[in-house]
Structure 1
Amino acid sequence: MAWFEIVALLGIGTLAGFINVLSAGGSMLTLPLLMFLGLPPQAANGTNRVSIVLQSISAVSNFRRAGASQFALSLRLAVPAVVGSLLGAWLALRVSDALFEAILVVVMLGAAVMMLLPQRAVDTQPLTPERLTPMVYLAMLCIGLYGGFIQVGVGVLFIVVLYRMLKIDLAQVNVFKVLIVLLYTLPALAIFVFNDQVRWSYGLVLAVGSMTGAWLAVKVNMGPQGALWVRWLTLAAIAAIIVRLLLY
């Protein structure tokens, strides 16, 4: 691995880890980066999961040390997401590279549009077990399916389900999100590993950066105001990447 690849992986990884915890869209930077560095789309998709797992472990442990933990409820929400992720990862390994790249461009455009939509404030309340309806579990199954397939922009879906549907405040959304993502990404990563679609050297270097970014994000987990400038920085980077993908 060349020195400039290491620098790119560490730098973009740090930014992506920060974005993934505090807002959404980190994989919209890391997945195209891995492809630009020469990894085939399927291998890039699998390798990206290494950094997601390790940054999620970093974020969960730092949230716990900060006194923010929602393990029991997160585990209940994660069960359907894990089922969905297994199916999503299986499907991802069965699409052609050309189709995957086309899906990636469409997904990035869709996620960027969703990030631009105004965030209407809602009256939030603590999550309790009786509020976990069948519709919520179905939504988590769909999130897991999407995350297992491509992961890009999955944080936007968590905002829709946890903030809009369940009316959890955004700071707590981040606490739930990182643990659920960790739990459903582990089996998805295992499927990619089993199919030899993980390049460990790239994934581990990227993970060093993403874990650093996740640690920084936990320190500034301040809700919508703390994430506002991150969203615009992410959108600017996404625009550049979409142009590059269309010319790739």
Structure 2
Amino acid sequence: MSPAEMALVLLAGTGAGGINTLVGSGTLITFPTLLALGVPPVTANVSNNIGLVSGSVSGAIGYRRELAGQRARVLRLLSASLVGGLVGAVLLLVLPDDAFSAIVPVLIMVGVVLVVLQPRLQRWVAGRRTAAAGDRPAGDPWWAWPAALGTGVYGGYFGAAQGVILMGVLGIAVDEPLQRLNAVKNVLAAGVNGVAGLLFVVVADVDWVVVLLIAVGSTLGGVLASAYGRKLPAIVLRCLIVVVGLTAVTVLLLT
């Protein structure tokens, strides 16, 4: 890899780390970049996944104040994400390369629709839960765990826009402001990438130069995005999620 190509991968990693911290879909920057540079698809996917782990962790640390009071929720949903991420990583290694290609755009669109409808759906779900529990406040719905599990499977397999899907699910399941949900999303995504990355290190073909470049770039991107993204109003963050999600669908359908 030439110095110019290395610089390009580093820059792509920085952009991916920032977008992952704010929304999720950074893979749609780094993965096509690696393919354009001639990295084999599976090697590119695996190396990209490992490289983005540090960016996810830096983003989660940057949002630590928004995690206050959510320890039980994070631990519960993280268990689902870890299991799902491991299952998704195994599927990547054993299934044909195009096994999920048809469903990925559909999943992303589902996430975008959930984000758009989130305020209305959240009010409806909250009303149903309150009615069922009388005057006692209810916790997160039962389906939040399997939804996090399913998103983890998708994230371990490919990962593009898993943040969009997670934000859609969390926005309906959890009665919290978007920035606090984004903090939870960053932890869950870090868990998925981390557990999948551990498996890939052991059994997959990894390009360690690509991993190092993306890791450095994504860490920087995660730090910068968490410093400034935490100040975004909910409507701006929601619009950003929708734009990135629609862009992700367009890119995937055209490739």
State the TM-score, normalizing by the size of structure 2. 0.79
Which among 163, 169, 179 is matched to residue 177 of structure 2? 169
Judging changes above 3 Å, is the alpha-carbon distance between structure 1 residues 229 and 157 closer, same or farther for their aligned structure 2 residues?
closer
5+ residue gaps, structure 2: 127-136
1:115 partnered with 2:112? yes
Judging changes above 3 Å, is the alpha-carbon distance between structure 1 residues 104 and 209 closer, same or farther for their aligned structure 2 residues?
farther
Instruction: Say how many residue pairs are matched.
Output: 237
Q: Which residue of 2 aligns with 1:224?
A: 234
Equivalences for residues 1-248 of structure 1 within 5 A: 1-64=1-64, 66=65, 68-69=67-68, 70-97=70-97, 99=98, 103-104=100-101, 107-108=104-105, 111=108, 114-115=111-112, 119-120=116-117, 121-122=119-120, 131-219=139-227, 220-221=229-230, 222-227=232-237, 228-229=239-240, 232=243, 235=246, 239=250, 243=254, 245=255
- Residue 87 (structure 1) shift: 1.2
Amino acid at match of 1:40: P
- Residue 62 (structure 1) shift: 2.1
C-alpha distance in 1 between matches for 2:141 and 2:240:
34
- Residue 190 (structure 1) shift: 1.3
CA deviation vs aligned residue, 1:53-88 (integer Å, no higher than 9, x gap): 101121122223x56444442121110221111111
Amino acid at match of 1:187: V
C-alpha distance in 1 between matches for 2:39 and 2:179:
35
State the TM-score, normalizing by the size of structure 1. 0.81
Judging changes above 3 Å, is the alpha-carbon distance between structure 1 residues 5 and 105 closer, same or farther for their aligned structure 2 residues?
farther
Structure 1 SS opposite 2:94 = coil
CA deviation vs aligned residue, 1:193-226 (integer Å, no higher than 9, x gap): 1113321210110122211211121122224344
Verify the 8 A CA contact 1:169 1:223 in the aligned structure 2: no
Identity between Structure 1 and Structure 2 (%) = 30
Verify the 8 A CA contact 1:19 1:230 in the aligned structure 2: no
Judging changes above 3 Å, is the alpha-carbon distance between structure 1 residues 131 and 195 closer, same or farther for their aligned structure 2 residues?
same
- RMSD (Å), alpha carbons: 2.9
5+ residue gaps, structure 1: none
- Residue 171 (structure 1) shift: 0.4
Q: Which has the larger radius of gyration?
A: 2
Verify the 8 A CA contact 2:89 2:157 in the aligned structure 1: yes
Verify the 8 A CA contact 1:17 1:214 in the aligned structure 2: yes
Judging changes above 3 Å, is the alpha-carbon distance between structure 1 residues 234 and 18 closer, same or farther for their aligned structure 2 residues?
farther
C-alpha distance in 1 between matches for 2:248 and 2:141:
37
Verify the 8 A CA contact 1:89 1:188 in the aligned structure 2: yes
- Residue 4 (structure 1) shift: 2.3
Verify the 8 A CA contact 1:47 1:202 in the aligned structure 2: yes
